[in-house]
Amino acid sequence: MKKVNLIVIVLLAVAVSTSCKRTLEQQTPNGETTKATTELSWETLLPTTSFNSYSTYWNDLYPWGSDHNGSARMRTQNIATSGGVLTMTAYPGTVSDKASIHYFSGTCYAKQQVTVSASYPKWRVSGEFQNPSVKGTWPALWLNGANQWPPESDIMEFKGSTTCWTNTYKNENGQWSSVGTVISGPANWHTYTAYLTRIGTTSNVSIEYWIDGTKVSTQTGQNFVNEPLNLIIDLQMEGSSGTPGPTGNTVMKARNVTIQRSATL
């Protein structure tokens, strides 16, 4: 009788142990699955090596042509690539058709657009840049509505000083959001990044702006969802950066520029 009781107790202990183990085994995979679905899985659409195959990934000038706000006429011959680095060079020049043009310079935009949507609610745009910061120089990395303006997101904008501006238009109040961050040595390599994330099921996005791995601002973009955005790199001159601009050559360099998207938040 005692022997039977002992056997029963042992069997019960094993059963309890097995039950606990199964519970743990069931919970652990579920936990891992849940975690996996919440972790970001980035799909790279514009590789960091894109400047090695420039014509595959980039178009010269602005999406609308050669001129914009500022005094530079953009030209293909002011754009060069070598060793994975994009170089834009600006210098004084005039044209017969527009008296307000004082410089020749370069700009380009990615063939891959950024479109925040229900299917891809999170996007990342990033790149490393060496920027001029003297009066009359206006380098920028920005997203601009492909079909209409706004929307606009300025990931990096220097306007004749060492302050980098991150801007969004329109914000939730229909106005500009702008935050300035002083950069030590803009002519050295620095990394500028933006994360665009859909806010719930709305048409608005939250935009986090990062510089060298530090978040400097979070802004809201109104009606950005389902609006294709062009990614533009340009070395504009004068305009908002002041006049007169430099009398010699001005150089802006870029490398490791990328566009990524995620189907998860």
**Which of 25, 39, 43, 152 does the annotation list as catalytic?**
152
Nearest of 98, 79, 84, 7 to residue 50 by alpha carbon: 84
Answer yes or no: 208 catalytic.
no
Quick count: other Cβ atoms within 10 Å of Cβ 230? 20
Q: How many whole angstroms separate alpha carbon 145 and alpha carbon 232?
A: 11
**Which of 157, 172, 208, 238 does the annotation list as catalytic?**
157
Q: Cis bond leading into 150, ω under 30°? A: yes
Q: How many whole angstroms separate alpha carbon 141 and alpha carbon 250?
A: 17
Q: How many whole angstroms separate alpha carbon 59 and alpha carbon 31?
A: 45
Quick count: other Cβ atoms within 10 Å of Cβ 91? 17
Answer yes or no: 157 catalytic.
yes
Which residues are catalytic, by number?
A: 152, 157
